[in-house]
Structures are given as C-alpha cells and as structure tokens.
Amino acid sequence: MTSKTAPRVAIIGGGFSGIAAAQRLMKYGIEDFILFEQSDALGGTWLDNSYPGAEVDTPSHIYSFSFNRNDWTRTHCARDELLAYLQRTGDALNLGPRLRLRTGVRSAAWDAATHQWTLTLGSGETAVFDAVITAVGFLNVPNYPKWAEGTGFGGAIIHSARWPKGYDLTGKRVGVVGTGSTAVQIVTEAAKVAIHLTVFQREPNWVLRKGNRPYTPAERQRYRSWLGHKLLRLKHFIDYERERAGGRNQMAGTPANTKLREGALAYMRRELAGRAELIPMVTPDYPVWGKRPVYCDTYYSSIAQDNVTVAPQVVELTPDRVIDQSGTQHELDVLVLATGFKATDYLYTLSVRGTGGRELHDVWAGEPEALSGVAVPGFPNFFMMYGPNTNSGPLVYLLESHADFAARCIRDMARSGSDTVEADPAVTQRFNAWIQARLQKTVWATSNNYFRNASGKVVTQWPFTALTYRLSSKFWRKRGMKYSKNEAAS
C-alpha cells in the first residue's frame, strides 16, 4: 500500500459516537468512509433502550452535538425525542450513502504487509480499510445476573436494554432488579400502572434531584437562537466543569463531598417523610459518587406508594417464585433486570488483531488502557470512541473530543505521506500512570461500581474536567502518536 493520500476508513457503530466520528472525518476532509451499524437504524443506545420512562438525565442542550442545534422540548428529553434527533443528525450529515445498516462487524485484523485492516462482517464477507474507528458503545452489552440463567421461571424476564416492542406493565405484578439510573426510570413508570411493584435492591444508590420539566414557549424561543443556544450550553458546561474541577466532589471526606451527602440526605428525608421506615434501607453507606449518582425527581415518591415494596436482592428464582435474600417469596408476572452492562469489557463483541496477530483483549488481559482512551500501542490506524478511562461529563463534548483525536491522526497520516499512525508504548504508559495516580484518590476506587475491573482498578472513568481531557488529549496526541511509512509496500 502506498501512502494514504485519501485513507478509507471504517466506523463501527451508529450511535452518538459513530455519528460524531463521521462528522469529524468530514470536517477534516476525509470523505471516504463507511459506517457499519448492526441495527436497522442509527441511534445506538437510544435505539436499544426503549423501556418505559427512558429519558436522558443530562440536560438536553449539553447532551447533544455542538454542530447540530436542536429545539428541545424539555430540560431532559425523552428517548423518542433523542432518537429522532440522532437520526435527523445523520440525515443532515448525509450519512445515508455511507451507511451499512443491519451489518455487524465480527472482527478486525491488521495486515502488516499492506498496512490495512480487514474487517469480517456478520455475514462472513470481508472488507478492507486503511483505518478503523470503533464506536460500539460503552454501556451496551447487557449484564445478566447468574441467578437469572436457566431457572425455568414461569414469568417473563426482561433486560431493560432488550425491551420487547409494546410490552406493557399495566395490571401486572412487576419486579424490578436494580436501583441504578435505568431502574429508577422504569420504577417510576411501573409504579403508575402495576398492581404491585417490588424493587429488588442489592445496594442503594445516592439519588440527586434532576429538575426535569418542559421548557416554556418563551424559553424554547430563546434557546432556538444561535446565541441563546450557545449561552445555555456554556452554562451547563461550566456547571459540569465546576462539579469536577479539583476532583473534590469525588474524594471522600472533602467538604464538597460532605455537602453533596447532606443535600442528598435532606432530599431523601423530605421525599420519604411519609414512609420514614424506608430511609435506613435506601441510605447508602458509601460516599456520594462512589457509584454514578442517580438523577431522578420521582424515584422516592414512587417507592413511597402503597403498591410498591422495596426488598433485598434476589437470590433465587423458582418456576413460580422470586426469592429474596431475607427468604421472602414473591409471586410475579414479570421480572425486569435493570442490572446494567458489562462496562469494563471494552469491545466485548469484537475481536481485534493488531501487529504480530496479537488480540487486543489478550494484550489488555483484563486491564484495558489506551492513550487518551483512544489509541493502543501495537494497533496502528485503530481508534476507539468512548474507550477506557474516558467516561465523564458532559459526555457528548467528550465523544466529540475522541472523534477529533482519531480524525486528526488519520488526516495527519495522509498529509505527511505516511501510511500508519500508532501510539507510542512509553507515552501511553506515562499517560495512564498520570490518570491512575488521580483515580486512586477518588471514591470510585473504594466503592462497588461498574467503573472497576475484576482486580479493582478504575478502568472506565476520566478523573479530570472535560476541558482538561480536550486540551491534554492534544498534548498526548502530538507527543504520543507516531507516523511511519511502509517502504516495502510503496
């Protein structure tokens, strides 16, 4: 392969990340790309998550692309509005001709002779590209509890991210397993329509007020304008940055963390004043931010309803009963598993072979890491969106930053007449030592959460502000990404 004057790029995944990657490639003049999406439409997590009550818990105006302004109807919009926005964004970018829907990618293999990647698709067909950007999501492979496997349970068992189209909870005896961000949204809807709802809690979450409401017509008019939209985004951005600056919110025992705890406790006591007996059970014994906090205005008022019970975690299913840790048996028509995702198993469904045929998961050996979460030594021309240690807020700003890293590398490779760009191992190691030093001081490192891998290392979180990510990733990219040319193939 000669130098890649017009590199051909594969994007794998068509959610927020894949769309951001496509936009950035086009911004830098890289027009020759294909976006593979296994579903039948764009949307990613917002296509998958159709459970009742699904809505964003980040303000709509900052949970959207910088390059596609939208007239949001609510402070925190519902799933259908977001999904429509993502699909409209795909249309606005004219992604249609570059989309391969209903096309999963099974594996990617680097060819050291041609300096190209061969993708094997779900059908067995292969396709060759100069560079690959994975945008397969971070919270997308459902986590199924062991006790739910092969039990012969007579009721329905539904994972929140696999909601059967049209499945209605009305008039049913419903169980919801989990108390995370997804569970509280389902609990809110189920409490309205179920004969009885049982919430099975393993460990309670800190619940913070979300402040969700429809925008007034005057607000919508203001935020439709270029300036009004920019100013609101800036306000939300500053709120996020203040929450993360210095890291004190995420460190146990700091005045900032204590203040968060006091605020959350006061909110809980107010909401559960009529059901005070629930308070000890739903009060976490770890600091706020030990798990990702839950933002919800309706969870406490829902569990305070007469038709709702909070029970300890499930230990066993029999054909006609759900048995919780206290030994209580529950007769249910449906058990909803809001049990989250295999968050630390990056690229779980994809096999990636880099130089020397080494498989990425073998290289990681359970400890996923990358330069700025995007590039891995030994895997040239390969980039990850939302990779290891990049999870934080505001999320879409961060996703656009990952896309920028990848697209600039591909552009610079082409401009410099090179045909490979790859992360330097020593620089990658320095980057990860830097973030891990900070991560070890956070409450994430000492609580039960989906941020830590089997050995307890925090492998999902970005520990500084979003602006620090964007600025530092430019530094690490310039310092750590090495360009070269395959002379033998020229």
Indicate the residue among 178 and 373 with the shorter CB distance to ligand NAP.
178
Indicate the residue among 85 and 110 with the shorter CB distance to ligand NAP.
85
**Judged by CB under 6 A, which of 43, 53, 59, 180 binds ligand NAP?**
180
**Judged by CB under 6 A, which of 5, 73, 221, 448 binds ligand NAP?**
448
DSSP structure string for 297-346: SSHHHHHTSTTEEEEE-EEEEETTEEEETTS-EE--SEEEE---B-TTST
**Judged by CB under 6 A, which of 118, 313, 429, 468 binds ligand NAP?**
313
Distance in Å, CB of 489 to ligand NAP, minimum: 44
DSSP 8-state assignment for residue 375: B
Distance in Å, CB of 55 to ligand NAP, minimum: 6
Indicate the residue among 89 and 160 with the shorter CB distance to ligand NAP.
160
Distance in Å, CB of 200 to ligand NAP, minimum: 7
Amino acid at 387: G
Is 459 a binding residue for ligand NAP by CB under 6 A? The answer is no
Closest CA to 382 of 1, 2, 10, 6: 10
Q: For residues 464 and 457, is the Cβ–Cβ distance under 8 A? A: no
Q: For residues 191 and 197, is the Cβ–Cβ distance under 8 A? A: yes
Is 162 a binding residue for ligand NAP by CB under 6 A? The answer is no
**Judged by CB under 6 A, which of 145, 247, 312, 425 binds ligand NAP?**
145
Both structure tokens of 401: 């930053």
Both structure tokens of 240: 């996020």
- Distance in angstroms (rounded) separating the CA atoms of residues 286 and 278: 18
Q: For residues 292 and 232, is the Cβ–Cβ distance under 8 A? A: no
Distance in Å, CB of 139 to ligand NAP, minimum: 5
Closest CA to 340 of 156, 249, 205, 441: 205
- Distance in angstroms (rounded) separating the CA atoms of residues 52 and 334: 14
Rg of the chain taking only CA atoms, in angstroms: 23
Binding mask of the shown chain, residues 284 to 303, with x at each position contacting ligand NAP by CB under 6 A: -------xx-----------
Return the beta strands (E) in 81-219 as ranges: 99-100, 105-111, 116-121, 126-129, 131-134, 156-159, 173-177, 196-201, 207-208
Indicate the residue among 182 and 486 with the shorter CB distance to ligand NAP.
182
Q: Which stretch binds ligand NAP (CB under 6 A): 177-185, 268-276, 357-365, 468-476?
A: 177-185
Distance in Å, CB of 362 to ligand NAP, minimum: 26
Q: Which stretch binds ligand NAP (CB under 6 A): 53-61, 116-124, 214-222, 378-386?
A: 53-61
Closest CA to 22 of 107, 101, 98, 81: 98
Is 139 a binding residue for ligand NAP by CB under 6 A? The answer is yes
Distance in Å, CB of 15 to ligand NAP, minimum: 12
Distance in Å, CB of 167 to ligand NAP, minimum: 17
Binding mask of the shown chain, residues 232 to 271, with x at each position contacting ligand NAP by CB under 6 A: ----------------------------------------
Interface with ligand NAP in residues 322-381 (CB under 6 A): 338-340
**Judged by CB under 6 A, which of 178, 287, 373, 377 binds ligand NAP?**
178
Q: Which stretch binds ligand NAP (CB under 6 A): 171-179, 214-222, 252-260, 399-407?
A: 171-179
- Distance in angstroms (rounded) separating the CA atoms of residues 173 and 168: 12
Binding mask of the shown chain, residues 188 to 227, with x at each position contacting ligand NAP by CB under 6 A: --------------xx------------------------
Is 57 a binding residue for ligand NAP by CB under 6 A? The answer is yes
Residue matched to tokens 């008039």: 171
DSSP structure string for 43-64: -THHHH---TT-B-SS-TTTSS
Indicate the residue among 62 and 410 with the shorter CB distance to ligand NAP.
62
DSSP structure string for 456-469: S-B-SB--S-HHHH
Question: Considering CB under 6 A, how many residues would be counted as binding ligand NAP?
Answer: 24
**Judged by CB under 6 A, which of 10, 95, 169, 177 binds ligand NAP?**
177
Both structure tokens of 8: 């051909």
- Distance in angstroms (rounded) separating the CA atoms of residues 440 and 424: 24
Binding site for ligand NAP (CB under 6 A): 55-58, 139, 143, 145, 177-183, 202-203, 291-292, 313, 338-340, 448, 450
